[in-house]
């Protein structure tokens, strides 16, 4: 007599759900474990790129068949292999973009595997030079970093560091690419540039970028102060009307709908942290003003303050919050910044130049981020240096 297994379908269904949960966690981690895992992956990627830079600039520190090379590559190989297996488990064959990233992950692991095989004697060290192009596959780790850079802010929190993290790693990868091309080809890219002329270019571009930042800071600071004043005056005008409503209609309840002052203030708080769109905020404001108008038109003495004060101040505040720099302006600033970063990289190769370049990237990109936050009408909480609208 045959017996059926009623738990077979739920088991398969639960496994499918686990795979989908794993896929979502790898794409957008929400649990503490998933966030810690993404931190580990991001740190390992950057550390591996920095390690490749050290190997190229100071080959005596990490010979090909040395123990220190084996230990570092072993750690990188284990972490990347585990990540590759996890992503392979959840990747669909129909998702061509995920498949391309998966191939890049596999090629990024290959150089580490070769180093391990050389150390264990499986591949003779004399044959490694014939596979020197495989070293370029390490640069695919930059692609891996760009894939996870979209969620770095969610993992590390909104800060200047998380927003410039990918930029610093990307320029580190570009520096390594220059060094690798010089190693596998007869051309030395660094020697193509005249250093005295290059230093003049660094100074000139840096001065232009500095002047642009200084002017921008002045403009956006003035706008920020203006928005703060408009915010205060609009709320003060609304508060005065609310007080008048309570005094005038304390004994006689109006026949029309009472204005929802508290609901509008709650919506404004959401708007100021970008949890409510401008269109929704404007609609709620129009509703509030309409409700106030229904009461005001029965009291002629309140008609002028309503139109000349409350409506104008609230309209000016909401309108001013939508005035910001054109996106092309920030694109222009970033182009100058990237040009300056590349010039610094070419002018100062080596470990000291790398430190200077990363410091310059952090400072300048951080200033651009702060300007963007100051220029925005509301507090986006993107940096630890935010200037928030003061509470009333």
Q: What is the pLDDT of residue 154?
A: 63
Q: What is the pLDDT of residue 170?
A: 72
Nearest to 320 by CA among 231, 247, 239, 240: 231
Q: What is the pLDDT of residue 132?
A: 57
Could you say which DSSP state residue 31 is in? Answer: S
How many Cβ atoms from other residues are within 10 Å of residue 283's Cβ? Answer: 12
Spatial separation of the C-alpha atoms in residues 44 and 251, rounded to whole Å: 70
Cβ atoms of 195 and 349 within 8 Å: the answer is: no
Tokens 């300007």, located at residue = 371
Q: Answer whether residue 78 shows pLDDT above 90.
A: yes
Nearest to 224 by CA among 312, 315, 323: 323
Q: Which range among 14-18, 107-111, 376-380 shows the weakest confidence by mean pLDDT?
A: 376-380
Distance of CA 289 to the CA centre of its chain: 38
pTM, whole model, 2 decimals? 0.59
**Dihedral over alpha carbons 166, 171, 176, 177 (to 10 degrees):** 100
Q: Answer whether residue 256 shows pLDDT above 80.
A: no
Could you say which DSSP state residue 309 is in? Answer: I
Q: Answer whether residue 299 shows pLDDT above 70.
A: yes
Spatial separation of the C-alpha atoms in residues 162 and 299, rounded to whole Å: 55
Q: What is the pLDDT of residue 107?
A: 84
* Residue 384 structure tokens: 């630890």
Q: Answer whether residue 171 shows pLDDT above 80.
A: no
Cβ atoms of 106 and 84 within 8 Å: the answer is: yes
Q: What is the pLDDT of residue 75?
A: 92
Q: What is the pLDDT of residue 301?
A: 79
* Better-scored residue on pLDDT, 213 or 373: 213
Q: Answer whether residue 253 shows pLDDT above 60.
A: no
Q: Which range among 263-272, 310-319, 366-375 shows the weakest confidence by mean pLDDT?
A: 366-375
Q: Which range among 191-195, 204-208, 279-283 shows the weakest confidence by mean pLDDT?
A: 191-195
Cα 229–234–236 angle (5° rounding)? 95
Q: What is the pLDDT of residue 127?
A: 59
Cβ atoms of 361 and 341 within 8 Å: the answer is: yes
| pLDDT tier, 153 (very low <50, low <70, confident <90, very high otherwise) | low
pLDDT digits (tens, 9 = 90+) for 318-336: 888 776 667 777 778 778 8
Q: Which range among 252-266, 269-283, 364-378 shows the weakest confidence by mean pLDDT?
A: 364-378
Q: What is the mean pLDDT of the chain?
A: 76
């Amino acid at each position: 007599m045959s017996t059926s297994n009623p738990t077979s379908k739920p088991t398969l269904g639960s496994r499918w759900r686990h795979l989908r949960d794993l896929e979502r966690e790898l794409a957008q981690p929400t649990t503490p474990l998933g966030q810690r895992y993404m931190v580990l992956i991001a740190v390992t990627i950057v550390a591996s790129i920095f390690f490749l830079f050290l190997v190229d600039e100071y080959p005596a520190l990490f010979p090909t068949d040395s123990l220190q090379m084996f230990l570092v590559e072993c750690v990188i190989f284990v972490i990347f292999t585990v990540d590759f297996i996890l992503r392979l488990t959840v990747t669909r064959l129909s998702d061509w973009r995920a498949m391309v990233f998966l191939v890049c992950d596999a090629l990024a692991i290959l150089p580490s595997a070769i180093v391990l095989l050389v150390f264990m004697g499986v591949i003779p060290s004399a044959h490694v030079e014939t596979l020197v192009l495989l070293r370029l596959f390490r640069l695919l780790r930059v692609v891996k970093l760009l894939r996870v850079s979209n969620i770095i802010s969610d993992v590390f929190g909104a800060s200047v560091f998380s927003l410039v993290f990918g930029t610093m790693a990307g320029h580190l990868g570009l520096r390594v690419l220059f060094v690798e091309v010089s190693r596998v080809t007869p051309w030395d890219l660094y020697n193509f540039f005249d250093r005295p002329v290059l230093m003049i270019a660094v100074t000139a571009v840096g001065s232009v970028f500095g002047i642009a930042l200084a002017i921008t800071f002045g403009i956006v600071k003035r706008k920020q102060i203006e928005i703060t004043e408009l915010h205060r005056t609009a709320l003060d005008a609304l508060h005065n009307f609310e007080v008048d409503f309570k005094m005038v209609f304390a004994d006689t309840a109006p026949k029309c709908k009472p204005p929802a002052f508290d609901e509008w203030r709650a919506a404004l708080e959401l708007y100021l942290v970008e949890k409510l769109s401008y269109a929704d905020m404007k609609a709620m404001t129009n509703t509030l003003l309409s409700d106030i108008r229904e009461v005001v038109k029965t009291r002629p003495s309140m008609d002028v303050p309503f139109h000349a004060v409350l409506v104008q101040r609230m309209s000016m505040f909401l309108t001013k919050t939508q005035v910001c720099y054109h996106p092309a302006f920030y694109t222009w600033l970033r182009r100058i910044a990237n040009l300056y970063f590349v010039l610094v990289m070419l002018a100062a190769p080596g470990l000291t130049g790398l430190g200077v370049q990363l410091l310059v990237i952090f400072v300048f990109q951080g200033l651009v981020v702060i300007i963007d936050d100051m220029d925005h009408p509301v507090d986006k909480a993107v940096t630890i240096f935010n200037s928030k609208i003061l509470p009333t």
